[in-house]
Structure 1
Amino acid sequence: MSLFRFKHFSVEQEGCAMKVGTDSMIFGAWLEVDPLPKTILDVGTGTGVLSLMMAQKYPHAEINAVEIDTTACQVAQANFRTNQIGENCSVWEQDFLVLPEDKKYDMILSNPPFFENALKSGIEQKDKARHTDSLPLSSFFEKSFRLLADGGALALILPVDTMDKYKETITGFYVHSELTVYATEVLVKRMCVVFRKYPPSKMKKQSLVVREKNGMYSDAYIELTKEFHGTKLKKSIS
């Protein structure tokens, strides 16, 4: 089934290499910045899911999305057009690294490619979406710094080891908040991080376990995503 139904919108996924998954659901639901952003840039939007989640959270923001893959760009454009919530969203078929820098953004967010020097599938569209060849993370940080307004926020979701590597090496950014995501209580999965150009008075650190030992979604996951999930998630096995 190619249509993913959220609480207030639906996302068509046909033709996209990367489908809607738990990563996007958690990242979009968790991500909040203050002050409210007026301009948002979603890098590598895919289906447009994160742009639509931001449109739900920030209905008065102008949301631009960039996507290098032609098919995914067309899918995102259709999703923005068919959902009323996407009326302030637009997508460009564009290489992020050559995006003009005359416009500054209050928030830049991305669920970027993260595989480095890893075995590829041989499927060009999928490899482009998952591997860093077309968007090296070091270049991503440098470009984001130039596009971000001085008081703006850069938000990413990455594997924990990848995020730790870049948190120690990037210049110009400071970690303001982070969420460590555990697939189960003992299996760490991802980290969501908000960076800014100035040091925080106090960094906010959180963690989230997605599934309990019985395999059901945790209360914390259900609470976090309740404004987005289109179906009622079970807390326990009945």
Structure 2
Amino acid sequence: MAKGFTFKQFHVNDGGCGMAVSTDGVLLGAWATLPKQGKLIDIGTGSGLLALMMAQRIAPAPCSITAVELDNSAADAAAKNFSNSPWASSLHCVKQDIQQWTHTQPKNNIENIICNPPYFNFGLQADNQTRATARHTDTLTHDALLQSIAYLLTPKGIVSLILPEYEGRKLIQAAEKYGLQCQRLCEVKSTERKPVSRLLIELTPCTVKLDTPKETLCIHNSGQYSAQFVTLTRDFYLKL
């Protein structure tokens, strides 16, 4: 059996990647707004999951997805996953730090960005350095990430992210310094009675405080996946 995770239309081999395929990634890939022109950047692609999900959602329309990844092993895994997918011609992986890559690009030229960023700002790091890099902000602080996003996005561009609840609220506040406002927000709970654990966030360039519509998503209900979760992810998970 192939290593990794098999979805309905593609397979992800996440061996050697800091972060394995996760519910967080699947939620973000299914929730994020699609680019109008089929052009998208995936920051810190890891195994390439988000780029692959977006390629599936955009198809059969033409699309161009650039996945930027700092870690060599993860970038190699993503490139192989792309080449083995039905959308190989639309997907391109760049082995580079996002800040360095940003400086090679024209300003305000990207319509859509998607990112499942590092999120731990403190605390013990994983013994595995690759996993630690993927999970902690040492190599990509949220301020540095927001700087790149603000530089890259067109005036009407969108970036979609997922973060733990505390880190997500802090990032939304920090984004205002870079002229980015939250225009869409989804609070994710594992069950109805549990507190919010994740935030799905959509930012756009704007200097005026926006009245952000708020959604709520519960992953489980009565010991099973909720109808909301199934509706959102059924195009990807094999057993839904």
* TM-score after normalising by structure 2: 0.90
- Measured after TM superposition, the shift of residue 160 of structure 1 is 1.0
SS at match of 1:169: helix
Deviation at 1:62, TM superposition (A): 0.7
Say whether 1:62 aligns with 2:69.
no
2:106 is the counterpart of 1:102 = yes
Find the counterpart in structure 2 of residue 53 from structure 1. Answer: 53
Given candidates 190, 201, 221, the residue that maps to 1:193 is 201
Aligned runs of 1:127-146 on 2, under 5 Å? 127-146=132-151
Q: Say whether the 8 Å CA contact 1:208–1:220 is kept in structure 2.
A: yes
Q: Deviations over 1:8-58 (max 9, x none)?
A: 11111122121111101111111124x614321101101100001110122
CA distance in 2, matches of 1:117, 1:224: 32
Count of residues in Structure 1 that have an aligned counterpart in Structure 2: 230
Aligned partner of residue 108 in structure 1, secondary structure: strand
- 1:18 aligned partner, one-letter code: M
Per the alignment, residue 25 of structure 1 pairs with 26
Q: Give distance in 2, aligned partners of 1:64 and 1:112.
A: 16
Match among 221, 224, 233 for residue 229 of structure 2 = 221
Q: Is 1:71 matched with 2:73? A: yes
Q: Tell me if the contact between 2:181 and 2:210 (Cα under 8 Å) persists in the aligned partners.
A: no
- TM-score after normalising by structure 1: 0.91
| Alignment match, 1:211 | 220
1:127-166 equivalent positions in 2, closer than 5 A: 127-166=132-171
Distance in 2, matches of 1:135 and 1:207, equals: 28
1:44 paired to 2:82: no
Root-mean-square deviation over aligned CA pairs: 1.7
The one-letter code matched in structure 2 to 1:49 is: L
SS in 2 for 1:191: strand
Cα distance, 1:160–1:78 mapped onto 2, change above 3 Å: same
Q: Which amino acid aligns with 1:86?
A: A
Match of 1:81 among 71, 80, 83: 83
Post-superposition shift, 1:165?
1.3
- Cα-to-partner distance string for 1:126-173 (whole Å, 9 max, x where unaligned): 100000000000111011100111211011100111111121232201
Deviating above 4 A after TM superposition, structure 1's stretches of 4 or more consecutive aligned residues are 199-202
Distance 1:168 1:61 in 2: 32
Identity percentage over the alignment? 31
Distance 1:86 1:52 in 2: 9
Q: Show structure 1 runs of 5+ residues with no match.
A: 233-238
1:200–1:165 CA distance, 2 compared to 1 (3 A): closer
Write out per-residue CA displacement over residues 177-216 of structure 1, whole angstroms, 9 at most, x where no aligned residue. Answer: 111110112132110111111258753211100012x421
Q: Which residue of 2 aligns with 1:167?
A: 172
Structure 2, unmatched stretches of 5+, are none
